[in-house]
Amino acid sequence: VFPYTLDGQGDMAFPEALPVPPDVMQTFFPNIPVATPTTFLVNVNTLEALPLLQGATDAAGFMARMDTVLQMYGGKKGAK
């Protein structure tokens, strides 16, 4: 988990958030609105960032979205 901050401040969950560098903004928000919280899945081998959710959700919503993204990602990888 990398807790980045857009306003230079943390919150109760991540009081020591890091200022977000411009290259991170470009990697994670190239074609989607900048919103918080936003959750991404990152391939640690390629550093490809896949947006999962924008906004708060419960565990069931998170897992459902994770399943959807992994199915889509797996389909793209199989097509190459």
- The contacts of residue 37 (CB under 8 Å, 6+ apart) are 53, 54, 55, 56
Q: How many domains does the chain have?
A: 1
3 DSSP 8-state letter: -
Question: Over the stretch 32-42, which tens digit does the pLDDT of each residue have?
Answer: 888 888 888 88
Question: Over the stretch 2-26, which tens digit does the pLDDT of each residue have?
Answer: 889 989 898 888 899 999 999 988 9
Residue 38 contacts residue 59 (beta carbons within 8 Å): no
Residue span of the structural domain in which 9 resides = 4-79
Question: Over the stretch 44-54, which tens digit does the pLDDT of each residue have?
Answer: 898 888 889 99
